[in-house]
Amino acid sequence: MDLELAGNAVLCTAATSGLGRASAERFAREGADVAVCGTTPEHVAETREALEGIGDGDVLAVEADITDPDEIEALVEETVDRFGGLDHVVTSAGGPAPGPFMETTERQWYTAYDLLVMSVVWTTRAAYPHLEASDAGTVVNITSSSVREVIDDLVLSNAVRRAVIGLMKTQAREFAPEVRVNAVLPGTHETPRIEEIVESGVERGEYDSYEEGLEAWSDAPLGRVGQPEELGDVVAYLSSARSSYVTGTALAVDGGMMRS
């Protein structure tokens, strides 16, 4: 299916790894101009090289901290200057600190809120005038299945990420009809973070092999963890004209794991 994204300008935040990067790669394959940011210079450089080798569009990869509103504003303006406009925004962020409620500090709550919620607020606020001017403006928020069903020992993700869904629903109404806003709720995907967790389990003797450890995470009805590119496909679809009557939707991409 041709998603007709060639020549569109896309900004994917925190997209030098994991699900954000998988989304950026799918846009690049579609021929879009893609901007990404990250905080690790080596990851930024490696992602730039990878994206440049995928599609025919332009690539902008810069160092930027999504918890700093000034850096986000500068990132949006640099993207617009480079590509001549902005059609699509994908917001992504790393996971907050794990832990149960009574072991989570007040500072961790504030840090998680800036990382998961305010980064979306700052990005969409800066991007909105450019998305409104586009004839294809969209926002897709990458969140987590934890916004619908809580995950043990992840109180910050369970509680804080839900604010993004309320924000998405509000923006979908306020930004319509010029800009569509949706969210995806990933279950377990084989990202570098999951790979690290499984490999640590192997080192501790919890699993005999990486394959066994990965299988232990495969509790979805489809019987496996997802691949990052499968999430990227959904993000690109929600950004395309193929989903032109879809807005205000929180779409689970979890192999059927959630029961609600």
Domain spans of the chain? Answer: 9-189+227-253, 190-225
Using the structure block, give the residue that is written with the tokens 């600190």.
97
User: CA-to-CA distance for 106 and 146, rounded, in angstroms?
Assistant: 20
Tell me the whole-structure pTM to 2 decimals.
0.95
pLDDT tens-digit readout, 230-251: 999 999 999 999 999 999 999 9
CB atoms within 10 A of CB 52: 14
Kindly report, residue by residue over 143-163, the tens digit of the pLDDT: 999 999 998 889 999 999 999
CATH classification code of 9-189+227-253: 3.40.50.720
What H or E segment, with its residue span, contains residue 150?
Answer: none
CB–CB of 232/210 below 8 Å?
A: no
The 10s digit of each residue's pLDDT in 217-232 is 888 999 999 999 999 9
- Range 164-168, long-range pairs (CB < 8 A, 24+ positions): 164/116, 164/117, 164/120, 165/250, 167/117, 167/120, 167/121, 167/141, 168/139, 168/141, 168/248, 168/250
The residue-averaged pLDDT of 108-124 equals 98
